[in-house]
Structure 1
Amino acid sequence: MSMQQQKAFLQEQNFRVETVHFKALDGYALTGMLYRPTSEIKASIVLSCATGVPQAFYRRFAEYATQSGYQVLTFDYRGVALSAPERLKGFQMSYLDWGKYDLSGAIEYLNQSELPVYMVGHSYGGQALGLTSNHDKVKAMYCFGTGAGWHGYMPFKEKIKVQVIWNLIFPPMVAVKGYLPWSMLNMGADLPKDVYKEWRRWCKNPTYFFADPAQAELHHLYEQVKTPIYAVSSLDDDWALPSSRYAFMQHYKNAPMKFINISADDFGLKQIGHMGYFRKGAEPLWDTILNTFDEISA
């Protein structure tokens, strides 16, 4: 679709959006947005967010996908944005809950319609599939910027920046607030303290949470995934370069895997980075996702 066609589509508003509420597998109440074309729906897409990124950030992609006949569910993980409690301080959870319970609940919610379910994951979203108990219900996943999080995979300047943030900036902020007030730095939504603590610990190791003795079962869980995966890394995404992507994605040992490296020039963009996969201007990239899902369904 050309940009002119896209604009015409959005002006016509031939899709509808509704706020939906559903349960995570452990019963936690989650809030999402369901984008649906007014014409026939051929399949569903669940959008699994990056850490600390509210679902609203993915609105453009969700709207765009409806013109290809897909309904898209975006949702906020527990502790984030619309799915956060009134008071974040003292809220207890595991970082793994987002995949284990929340994403699993979203897949179950979409599966009620009996339409094929596809997944698009951003950063943590690509990690989360292996944590779900119903990954067999996902026909294919496209993930962007999914990596191991270790600073050693990053370029020198980004490596120093990240270590300063983790070791000098975040600790006193969390100590004072009782949660990670990420919004104060315009970096994302505020995060529960438990998420911050686990994330910080795992990012210190080249193999992320797979190196944590307390999480030994994760090796087995990820080996069970057989969903085809398309793992995309932009060569200017300093947080998840190909080496970081491989360090994590290799644990999906039995999933048909396609590694895809892209650059901003490939899509006529000045920059992609870690967030540009879903920003305005990335429509040509979204077409590759939707065309791939079309081919799988054919």
Structure 2
Amino acid sequence: MHSKPESRQISALDGFSLSSTHYSAEGEAQGNLLIAGATGVPQRFYQRIALYAASQGLNVMTLDYRGIGLSRPARLKDFKMHYLDWARLDLAAAVALLAKQDLPLYVLGHSFGGHAFGLLPNHHHVSRFAVCGTGAGWHGWMPWRESLKVRMMWHLILPVLTRIKGYSPWSKLGIGEDLPQDVFYQWRAWCQYPHYFFDNPDTQDLLDCYYKVRTPSLFINATDDLWAMPASRDAFIRAYANAPIHTLDIESQGTPIGHMGYFRAQHQDLWQPIVQWLKQGSPASIGASRLQQYAPGEFNKAQLLLPNLAL
């Protein structure tokens, strides 16, 4: 039987108060798992997979980044922060807390979680890392209909609403939690580039952070994830040049997966192999899928991207 999830306030590295939820492992704990959520997705969305991982012997922590969910300030208008604070200050504090315990530490990410891992100052504490639906964010990696929709959102609809509100009202469009305006403007700027912030002149120094990652990593992308198709993932994760990498491309079987389905109940068949890989490091194919394995340095050599898109 699952123990009741426990809500706790934790402090980010700069002292900002964050809401977190803790799920105790059934039986003797075999490790700790931190779930690093997507942009604008509250921690409650990951409750089902957190309960599943707890049933498999892992203590699990979820959290809401500053400005989101239960970590949202009373007044979001003109709330000041940097998008990368979610990784460098918020997730890093959770890693530091869990690393104090004498158990292996794993991280499971979603979308932004794949960006965040390379930005952590303490990723070396993590034994294995898996992420679903991470990508470079550039509209050019998307099918043309989705690309057109995204460009209209970035350049026509949301800039007007954000200027009026003082924050980005994503909830009004039914696509997630409202975002602090700094997150919206920085995210939009980076999504103009094929390799996200690695191509931005102001943030190219971030490559050095990713080159330091040595953690075995599994990157899972559904072929019907229009926001993060496998080519988009590959364009971003080339920066994890010195980590042993597995990539897994999943073909949906009937029910679409999209960008959010990885963590929905109808796709819980994905969870067992993901948790198995985190705990044991043994990759497994999932349904109609394509698994590739690369030693450190091999992934970049294997990719055949257009020359003008090279890092």
Matched, 1:195 2:180: no
Given the alignment, which residue of 22, 36, 56 partners 2:24?
Answer: 36
> What secondary structure sits across from 1:72 in the alignment?
strand
8 A contact 2:26–2:58 mirrored in 1 = no
> What secondary structure sits across from 1:31 in the alignment?
strand
> Which residue identity is paired with 1:285?
L
Number of the residue aligned with 1:65: 53
Given the alignment, which residue of 89, 95, 105 partners 2:93?
Answer: 105
The 2-side partners of 1:270 and 1:50 are apart by 21
Number of the residue aligned with 1:160: 148
Distance apart, 1:135 and its partner CA: 0.2
The 1-side partners of 2:113 and 2:230 are apart by 17
> Which residue identity is paired with 1:284?
D
> What secondary structure sits across from 2:281 in the alignment?
helix
Q: Which runs of 4+ in 1 moved over 6 A?
A: none
User: Where do 1:279-290 residues align within 5 Å?
Assistant: 279-290=264-275
The 2-side partners of 1:205 and 1:160 are apart by 16
8 A contact 2:67–2:180 mirrored in 1 = yes
Distance apart, 1:95 and its partner CA: 0.6
Distance apart, 1:193 and its partner CA: 0.5
The 1-side partners of 2:26 and 2:270 are apart by 24
**Runs (5+) with no aligned partner, structure 2:** 283-311
Matched, 1:17 2:5: yes
Identical positions, percent: 45
Matched, 1:251 2:239: yes
Q: RMSD in angstroms over aligned alpha carbons? A: 1.2
> What secondary structure sits across from 2:23 in the alignment?
strand
The 1-side partners of 2:199 and 2:2 are apart by 48
User: Where do 1:1-298 residues align within 5 Å?
Assistant: 13-265=1-253, 269-296=254-281
The 2-side partners of 1:247 and 1:188 are apart by 25
Distance apart, 1:192 and its partner CA: 0.4
Task: Give per-residue Cα distances to partners, 1:148-192, cap 9 Å, x unaligned.
Answer: 000000001101111111111101100110000111111111100
> Which residue identity is paired with 2:267?
A
Given the two structures, how large is their TM-score scaled by the length of structure 2? 0.88
- Larger helix percent: 1
8 A contact 1:15–1:63 mirrored in 2 = no
Matched length = 282
8 A contact 2:117–2:123 mirrored in 1 = yes
Residue range with higher mean Cα deviation, 271-280 or 35-44: 35-44
Distance apart, 1:38 and its partner CA: 4.2
8 A contact 1:16–1:38 mirrored in 2 = no
**Runs (5+) with no aligned partner, structure 1:** 1-12
Given the two structures, how large is their TM-score scaled by the length of structure 1? 0.92
> What secondary structure sits across from 1:200 in the alignment?
helix
